Amino acid sequence: MRKFLVVMGVVAFVLAGCGDDGGSSAPENDDPVSSLAVSSSSSSNVVASSSSSNVIASSAKQSSSSEKAESSSSCSAEESSSSVKASSSSFEPLAVPCKTEAEDNCEYGSLTDERDGKTYKTVKIYKKWWMAENLDYADSVKTPSLKGKSWCYANDLENCAKYGRLYTWAAAIDSVKFATDAENPQDCGDGKSCKNILPDVVQGICPDGWHLPDYDEVSKLLPDVGGYNIAGTVLKSQSGWNEGGNGKDVYGFNVLPAGIRLDDGSFDGVGEGTDFWSATEQDPETAHTLYFYYEYEYAGVGFYEKGDAFSIRCVKD
């Protein structure tokens, strides 16, 4: 079950655990935008919770977060000192804002997925071409990795048409291609490490000529548009988010609040937030995503349980 900690009104993305249950640490990376914790507007440290992952915060989970905050406060000073401080978060954007309410001068393209004939808008941000819509590929006969591992939000086909599909990490990387267990060929990615199996560039379930972005690609998108502190505002769509959560979409990336599917089968967060899978795992249980939330101007990179289901944006090879 996904857990999170609210510190001074901000969702804290977990880095380490208190007590004996263990936690995951962030990759060695000095890039401040790929920090896996977000501080409040003050300079206070974020105290890590005892979970190894977090979720799009919803009102249904606020009670559990307060309990987690109480238990986290008992961590030792030594443990608390290991929590991540958010460093400088503002950058001069490398990409030029190209969209206003009156004009749209972004450099768009299109991608036709020959597997099912669906066409997606694409957009160039700085030096990379990204899908500007969420992937909605579902053929589990052609792609066995998808069997039982992708869904429309709330199992409603209209949500797939609007938001694309939600995929587990094993589905996202097309795990059957890397199967080492003949009896359970989908096990790569679900509780087992794939670090020594995956190639440097993982096509995953992306169309030919495109691939699932890795940790570096999702984290570097943020300084390209001015840093994680403003990335939510400039990349989120101009409509569709809960009250007060719409963005400016000045790069044509059009992030929609697609929500998530938890590994217990429940759906959560439509209208509130979204995550995009990366091809980089953190440990056998978790992998990295790019996240957005309706209440905040920032966006960032976190790590989440592989059995949860998130959206996918592919990057051109």
Residue 92 confidence (pLDDT): 84
Is beta strand 5-7 parallel, antiparallel or unpaired with respect to 10-12? antiparallel
> What is the residue type of 295?
E
Q: How many CB atoms lie within 10 A of CB 103?
A: 8
Predicted TM-score (pTM) of this structure: 0.76
Residue 188 confidence (pLDDT): 77
What distance in Å separates the CA atoms of residue 173 and residue 149, rounded to the nearest whole number? Answer: 11
What distance in Å separates the CA atoms of residue 304 and residue 225, rounded to the nearest whole number? Answer: 24
DSSP bridge partners of 302: 289
What distance in Å separates the CA atoms of residue 254 and residue 108, rounded to the nearest whole number? Answer: 12
> What is the residue type of 250?
V
CA 166 to chain centre: 11
- Indicate the domain borders of the chain: 5-80, 108-316
pLDDT in tens, 216-251: 999 999 999 999 999 999 999 999 999 999 999 999
Handedness of CA 300, 295, 152, 313 (dihedral sign): negative
Residue 89 confidence (pLDDT): 56
Residue 183 confidence (pLDDT): 74
> What is the residue type of 238?
Q
pLDDT in tens, 105-139: 999 999 999 999 999 999 999 999 999 999 999 99
What distance in Å separates the CA atoms of residue 228 and residue 297, rounded to the nearest whole number? Answer: 8
**Numbers of helices and strands, H then E, in the chain:** 6, 14
The strand ranges marked E within the chain are 5-7, 10-12, 108-112, 119-125, 128-131, 150-151, 166-167, 210-211, 260-261, 267-268, 273-281, 286-293, 299-305, 315-316
CA distances from 83 to 15, 171, 174, 281 (A): 7, 31, 33, 20
CB-based contacts of 219, cutoff 8 Å, min separation 6: 29, 31, 33, 34, 290, 301
Q: How many CB atoms lie within 10 A of CB 115?
A: 14
> What is the residue type of 287?
A
DSSP category for residue 309? B
Residues of the chain with pLDDT under 50: 1-88
Residue 50 confidence (pLDDT): 28
What distance in Å separates the CA atoms of residue 40 and residue 11, rounded to the nearest whole number? Answer: 9
